[in-house]
A and B are shown apart, each in its own frame.
Chain A
Amino acid sequence: MKHARVVYEGKAHHAVERDGRLLLDNGRLVSEDAVTWLPPLPPTPRPRTILALGLNYADHAKELEFKAPEEPLVFIKGEGTLTGHRQQTRRPADVQFMHYECELTVVVGKTAKKVKRDDAYDFIAGYTIANDYAIRDYLENWYRPNLRVKNRDGCTPLGPWLVDAANVANPMALALQTTVNGQLTQSGNTRDMIFNVPFLIEYFSSFMTLQPGDLILTGTPDGVVDCRPGDVVVTSIEGLGELINTIE
C-alpha cells in the first residue's frame, strides 16, 4: 500500500493511494492536486533521527573527485529540513550551484539494535523518495557536508508516498532518475550503492538504536546539475512514484 500525509480543508490526514486518487482517513476520495502534501511519515513520540549518506554511489564519488569511501560517510539532518511533495524549495539569490539528489529513503519500522544484515529487512517499514538538495557554495571542510549545505529549511523534499516494504520486492534493484523541466539529467540504479540497505541497517544499529520512523537517506548516483528558480525537479524511483519540487 502507498501511504501519504496530506492537509485537506485545513486538517492533516493519513491517506492511501486509490486508483490515482487519495482516499483520506475520513473516507473522502480526493484528487492528488486538491491537497497539500506533507512528508509521508506518521508522527513519532520523540524527534525522528534522519541519517543521510554521502558518496554512496561509486560514480557520484568519482563525479565529485572523491575516492569511494571505505566506511559510510554519514551526516544527520533535523526535521525542519523536510518538506512534502509538490512544494517549493528556495534557492538563495547569491549562489552558483544548487543541485538535487534523488535518494532511496528507508523508513525504519521496528526498534533496531545490533541487527545483522541478514535480518535487516525485518526492521524496515517501507520506502520513500528524498530529494536531498545541496548548495555547494556553502561547503566547508568542517563536519563536511556541513549543515549550512544540508539542513536548510525545506531543502529536503520527501514523498510522495511511504510504500510498504511488502510492496517493494527488491529495494536493491530499483531504477531511479531525475528530470529538470522534463529533461532527463540523472539516471541510476540502487544496485550500484557502495553500502547497501542491509549493510547500513547493520552499521548504524551496531552503535545506535534506531526507532520506528527514523530515516536513512541512502545517497545519490551520478548526474547532478545546477537548478535555477522556476525549475521543476522530479525525482523518481521505480515503484515509489515521482516526487515533484519547484525551485523558487
Chain B
Amino acid sequence: MSFMPSGTVYGTLLNFRAEVEALAPQMKQPPYKAPPQAPVLYVKPANTWSASGASIPVPARVPEVEVGASIAMVMGEAGAVAGYVLVNDLSIPHASFFRPPVKFKCLDGFLGLGERLVPASEAGNPSGFSLQVRINGELKQTVDFSHLVRDTARLLADVGAFMTLRPDDVLMLGCDAGRPLAKVGDRMDITAPGFGVLSNTLVAEAS
C-alpha cells in the first residue's frame, strides 16, 4: 500500500544553494526587489497526488514537464518528524516566481509520492540523504541534501514561526537546480538509499 498523505502537502522553493545562486543576479531586480527572508512555500493539493507506479496525465498544450525530485518530511505529533518520503514534484516550466504557481504545479497527478514512509528513527540525518533521477533509465540528476539552504531543523523552526505544521502534514525539503525535463511517454524513476524507487510514467491526457 503506497503512502498517501492525510494532511496538507507543502513544497519549499529556493532551499538548495545552487537554486539560490542561479537566481541571485535577479533577486534585487523587479519584481522581486529583495532576496526572500522567510521560507517560500507552496501547496500541492490532493488532486495532484499520484501513487508510485501511476501514470501521470500531461495536457496536450504542455510539451515538457520539469521533474522536481525531493524528499519530504511527514509530520508526527507536536512538531516532530514522523518520517520521510520520496516525492516527484512536477511543474510546467515557468521562469517567474513572483506569483503563486498554482496553474503550473497543481495539475491532476502532478505530485508523485514514494511508496515507503521511512520512519525518522531509521532514516538517519537528513543531511546525509541523496537521491538519483533517471528518465527512461538514464541518470539525469543526483541530489545531495547536504546542500540545503535551511536544513530540516532550521526549516521547521522558520516555518513554525508563522504556521503550525499539523500531524500528517508534509513539507518538502526543496528541489535542487538542474531539474530534468520529461515528456509524454517518459518513465521517471527516483531512488534513494533506504527509500526504494518512486516510478511514474507520463501519458497524454485523455481529451
Contacts and interface: CB of A to CB of B under 8 A. Distances in A.
Contacts of B31: 141
Interface in A99-147: 113, 138, 140-147
Interface of A: 46-49, 51, 73-81, 113, 138, 140-148, 151-153, 207-211
B100 A148 contact: no
A74 B10 CA distance: 16
Given A74-B103, A80-B8, A208-B107, A143 B162 contact: no
A80 B6 CA distance: 13
B46 A143 contact: no
B40 A78 contact: no
Interface stretch (B130-138, B163-171, B189-197): B163-171
A143 B31 CA distance: 11
Given A47-B6, A208-B106, A143 B164 contact: no
Give the top 5 A-B pairs by smallest Cβ distance, nearest first.
Answer: A78-B8, A76-B43, A49-B45, A46-B46, A75-B100
Interface residues of B, number: 39
A131 to B, nearest CB: 17
Contact of A208 (B47, B99, B100): B47
A114 B33 CA distance: 37
B interface, over-half SS? loop
Contacts of A73: 99-100
Contacts of B45: 47, 49, 76, 208
A interface, over-half SS? loop
Nearest to B23: A142
Contacts of B37: 140
B32 interface: yes
18 contacts: A47-B7, A74-B102, A76-B100, A80-B164, A138-B162, A140-B37, A141-B31, A141-B33, A143-B99, A143-B101, A146-B41, A147-B163, A148-B39, A152-B162, A207-B108, A208-B47, A208-B106, A209-B47
B46 A47 contact: yes
A59 to B, nearest CB: 21
Contacts of A143: 13, 40-42, 97-101
Given A75-B102, A76-B102, A208-B45, A148 B38 contact: yes
Most chain A C-beta atoms within 10 Å of own C-beta, residue among B36, B39, B42, B163:
B163
Given A78-B10, A142-B32, A142-B98, A211 B47 contact: yes
Interface string B1-35: 00001111010011000000000000000011110
